Structure formats: C-alpha cells, structure tokens
Amino acid sequence: MTRDDDAIALLRRIGDGRVSDSAYDTGWTARLADTDPALAASALDWLRAHQLPDGTWGAKAPYHPHDRVLCTLSATIALTLHGSGTDHQLVRRAAPALRKALAAVSRTTTTETAGFGLLAATLLRHAWELGIVGDEAENILVLLAAEREQHLAAVRPGTVDSRSPLAGYAEFATGINLRLLAPDALVSPDGSVGSSPATTAFHVEVTGGSEQSLAYLWQMASQSGGMPATGPIDAFESAWSLRNFALTRTGIGRASAQRRRVLTGLEQSWMTGHGLGSGTGSSSVDSATTAAAYTVLSRSSTVVDLATLLAHTGTGHDTSTDVHLLEALRAAGLSRSHPYVGRMVQRLTASQHCTGFWRDPRHLSPFPVTAHAVIAGLGLDHHDGCFGRALRWLLDAQRSDGAWGFEDPTAEETACCLQAITLAHRRGESVPEQAVRDGHGWLQRETGRPHPALWIGKSLYAPGTLIDSTVLSALTLAEEDRLTSLDATSANAGR
C-alpha cells in the first residue's frame, strides 16, 4: 500500500466522528434500565469488562486522578443501582484505588478534566448516599460542593438550554439545581444534549427522554456497549483531517475524490455568521472547529466569509483555540501587520511558558499545541520570537530514539512535532535533517499501535481518525522532502 492508499482508506472512515469509549458516559447510560433495558444491559456488560487492574475505571495510561474519580464513580453507581450477581464485588474492589484517586485530586497540579468540580460533587454525593464511599470522602465532598455552588451562583433558573456552555454538563443538576435547566430546550437537532452521551442519558433518566434522544444513544453505542466521551465530532474530525492532508505538497495525491466528498460536507455545514460546531448536529458553535474549517475551505478556493471567522477572535479562548484562529487568519491571507493577527501573536506570547512551550486545557501533552503554534507562526517572527522559541523547545525535547512524549512517547505527539519541524526545515529554519529522519524512523516503526487517551473532556479520550490523519500527514511530509532513511518511493513501495 502507498500513502495515497492509506489516505483513501482514512478519508472513507471520516463521517461518524467517533472517539474512544468512556466509562463515565457508559456508566450514565447503564442507569437507563427502566427506560431502555437493552441499552442499559449492554452498557453494564461493557463496565464489567473494562474494570482496570487496580479496580478503577478510566483511561489505562497515563494515570489521571480526575479521570479515574469521575469514571469510577459513574461506573460504581450504575453497578450498585442496576447490577446483579457479583457486581457488588466489582464495586468493593474499586474502593481502595478510588480513595487513592480522591486523595490525589486534592494535591495534584494536573489539569482537571472538563467540568470536574460540577460533576464530581454530584456523583460523590450520590456515591456517599449509596454507601460506595464513606466518611473519608466528606472533606473533599464539602470542598467540591462549595466549588459547584460558587460556579452556579450567577446562573438563572431555566437558562441552561442547548446553546448554554453548561448544556454538556447538565448532569450536575440534582435537587434544587434542577430548576436551572430548561428541559424542553436542552436537546440538539441530533437528539443529544451537549453532544454528550452522559448528559443525554441523564436527560432521558430525569425526563423520560424522547425517541430522538434514545436513537442518538443507540447510534453512539459501540458494538460492545461502550459509549464515547463525546460525539459525534464529525465536523471537527473532517476539518482537522483535511487540514493535516493540506500540509503536504500533494494533498495526498490520488485521494482527491474522497477529499472532495469530505470537503463538500464541510461546505454544506458552514453557517455564515456562526461557523461550525464540533458536530454537524450540534446546536452550539466551536471556535476551534470553525477556525480549522475556515483554514481548509479557504485553502481549497471555497468562498467563506471572513467576518464569521473574525467574530470568533475575541478574548476568553484557550491557547489551543488561539493557535487555530491564528492559522485560519493566515490562511485568509492576513499579514503580520494586520491587527487581528497581531492580537493573536500578543496573546500567544503572553501565554507561552518561559522555556518555549504552551499548555492546552484540551490535551494532557504540551507537544501538540506547541507544534501547531510553530506551524501557524512560520515566517511571523525571528529566532527570538515566541514561535522561534517554541521550535527550539521542540527540537530540544526530542528523545534519543527520535520520538516525543510528555510521559511515554506516542505516535500522536511525535507526528505533531514531526509535522512542525519538517515544515520549519522546508522554510529554511535551523532544523537538523537528522531530527526529521529520526522522528520519521520512530513513527514509521510505531504506526498501528493503539492511541492512548490524551484528550481532555469530561473524561480522557482519543479521536482515533484525527490522530491517524496526523500520523499519515507527518510521514508523508518527511518523505516528500526525502528527509528519511528511505526515499519516498521506496518507503511507499516497501509497505
């Protein structure tokens, strides 16, 4: 198979927008035994099959206490309420490691999972009422409950609807907080609440649900009964996969017909004046997805309105979104002197760590966002600017085997960095050719292994198709410039 064959196969996969399964979302779905017994039974079976060796549920590696706490609480509550037979043994086996994870949450500096304070307080209270946790959880429960109520103090009753930032976290609402929800206006056109299986299952449990929401849950369920951490993210997956291919000189040659199919889907989903959500059926828009889609559409000669993109460049974004917006502004042809570009560069300079990297609240590793920033900023500054510092940091952080990783090296992190240093080398930056060769060699050897869950949602997850497109793009870039131990022709023919 050639790289073109790989690209055609990958582009054919784009469309379902599925990410890896999550014990958190599966646990909420398993609580629907009274509404949809078959769906709940399948989810319970998944939970039984995916308890980790230490007794918890969540991402296997890296260990992330917030992820373990939420996933384990969700799973043990579901098994306690609706389990049978020996399920109580699974719940008991989780107790010691759950106590360890709860203790780690209070002392770690690791980035929290999204909405942790809101969601953990609700789940921990329920677990305490069911006897899953004991008095040892009292102190952290008090702290989490206070954090939740502080966060909700400004939320008016009946205002959490499908367009609210809190929509995808609505399972926080119990007791008096249920009044904050607008239950009749929470569901998006695709049947989900906040593109979240967990929140949708909560809504079904509380309201009795609708056929549309149950159909969404059945659509999202894997064959083994697991539920993804979010989804569908078909627009995000499409935009970022096409963006990865567009970085190469050829756009992955013979894959043009499949590329056109995916591009047409983005064109049809683009909402002038709004942009795009991560999923085409979502009620809310997402600035990062909008930026990625604009980059791809504008570079394919599609006419898209710049005003829609500019409306997303206000303050309040995370670093990752700022990076994606900068890349989109440059795809629009705006120069370094343009005030919108200057604003993004200023924000990124201010948020950069003194050693040269950025942190991303959407990802455990600093490598992807830093690599994306290097690509977005190519040609914008000199050696001592923020993008030059970031490039030097990437090169210094490469391991002796050619890989990158904030803990164990991964294909995703290595591919992002390899994209950045190859494109920087192509533009004449000071990048040793051996760094590209070593990165390509490691990635070529390791391609095909499962991707660890490094993306941060309410739990950790991995968007497999998007990561695969990054890997394919990185390998192709290095081979196009003959910066590998094999030339591009022999690399393709020998696979």
List, as one string, the DSSP characters of 257-296.
Answer: HHHHHHHHHHHHH-BTTTB--SSTT-SS--HHHHHHHHHH
Do 467 and 364 belong together in one domain?
yes
Report in angstroms the alpha-carbon separations of 314 from 81, 344, 347, 473.
Answer: 45, 10, 11, 31
Are 196 and 230 spatial neighbours (Cβ–Cβ below 8 Å)? yes
> For 324-330, which contacts have Cβ atoms below 8 Å and span 24 or more sequence positions?
324/287, 324/288, 324/291, 324/292, 324/295, 324/372, 324/376, 325/287, 325/291, 326/373, 326/376, 326/377, 327/291, 327/295, 327/372, 327/375, 327/376, 328/290, 328/291, 328/292, 328/294, 328/295, 328/298, 330/376
What CATH number does the domain containing 211 carry? 1.50.10.160
Average pLDDT over residues 219-226: 96
Q: What whole-number distance in Å separates Cα of residue 159 and Cα of residue 179?
A: 9
429-470 pLDDT tens trace? 999 999 999 999 999 999 888 999 999 999 999 999 999 999
Mean pLDDT across the stretch 203-210? 90
**22: which DSSP letter?**
E
| Sign of the four-CA dihedral 463, 466, 468, 474 | negative
Pairing of strands 455-456, 227-228: unpaired
Contact 45, 255 (CB under 8 A): no
289 and 224 fall within a common domain:
no
* Chosen domain end from 177, 209, 228: 228
Q: Bigger pLDDT: 254 or 35?
A: 35
Residues 81-95 have pLDDT tens digits of: 999 989 999 999 999
Predicted confidence at residue 439, as pLDDT, reads 97
Residues 148, 7 share a domain? no
pLDDT single digits (tens) 171-193:
999 999 999 999 999 999 999 99
- Please report the pLDDT score of residue 495 as a whole number: 41
pLDDT score of 486 more than 60: no
Percentage of the residues of the chain whose pLDDT score is greater than 70: 97
Confidence of residue 265 (pLDDT cuts 50, 70, 90): very high
Last residue of a domain, one of 207, 228, 249: 228
CB 422 within 8 A of CB 470: no
- Verify that 445 and 487 share a domain, yes or no: yes
> Residue 118's closest CA among 157, 166, 72?
166
Q: What pLDDT is attached to residue 359? A: 96
Return the pLDDT at 110.
79
Q: What is the pLDDT of residue 253?
A: 66
Mark whether 407 and 430 lie in a shared domain. Answer: yes
Is the model's pLDDT at 130 over the cut of 90?
yes
Q: For the packed helices 197-207 and 211-220, what is the interaxial angle rounded to 10 degrees?
A: 150
What is the per-residue pLDDT for 485?
A: 55
Alpha-carbon span 206 to 53, nearest angstrom: 33
Give the per-residue pLDDT at 490. Answer: 43
Q: List the one residue out of 38, 36, 60, 56 whose CA is nearest residue 47.
A: 56
Helix, strand counts (H, E) of the chain: 21, 4
- 428 pLDDT band, cuts 50/70/90, is very high
Same domain, 467 and 365: yes
Distance of alpha carbon 347 from alpha carbon 333, whole angstroms:
20
Left (φ > 0), alpha (ψ -120 to 50) or beta: where does 487 sit? Answer: beta
Do residue 353 and residue 438 come from a single domain?
A: yes
pLDDT at residue 487 above 50? no
Q: What CATH number is attached to the domain comprising 337?
A: 1.50.10.20
Confidence of residue 257 (pLDDT cuts 50, 70, 90): confident
pLDDT reported for residue 91: 98
Domain match, 249 and 281 both:
yes
- Which band of pLDDT confidence, cut at 50, 70 and 90, is reported for residue 2? confident
Q: Decide if pLDDT at 493 tops 90.
A: no
- Which spans in 192-248 are helix H? 197-207, 211-220, 234-246
Same domain, 406 and 423: yes
Angle formed by the axes of helices 464-480 and 411-426, to 10°? 40
Tokens, residue 333: 């042809």
Per-residue confidence (pLDDT) for residue 492, from 0 to 100: 46
Predicted local distance difference test score (pLDDT) of residue 355: 96
Domains in the chain, number: 2
Residue 129: which domain range? Answer: 21-228
pLDDT at 488 over 50: no
My answer on whether 324 and 462 are in the same domain is yes
Identify the pLDDT of residue 154: 94
Same domain, 400 and 426: yes
pLDDT at 163 over 60: yes
pTM: 0.94
Rounded Cα distance between 53 and 298, Å, is 48
Rounded Cα distance between 233 and 470, Å, is: 16
Q: What distance, in Å, lies between the first and last C-alpha atoms of the chain?
A: 6
Q: What's the DSSP call for residue 136? A: G
284 confidence band (pLDDT: 50, 70, 90): confident
CA nearest to 246, candidates 233, 237, 256:
256
Tell me the average pLDDT of the chain. Answer: 92
Strand partners, 461: 455
Predicted pLDDT of residue 464:
96
Mean pLDDT value of segment 158-166:
94
Query: Is the pLDDT reported for residue 292 higher than 90?
Result: yes
Is the predicted pLDDT of residue 489 greater than 50, yes or no?
no
For residues 327 and 446, membership in a common domain is answered with yes
- Which of 209, 228, 247 delimits the end of a domain? 228
Asked if the model's pLDDT at residue 155 lies above 70, the reply is yes
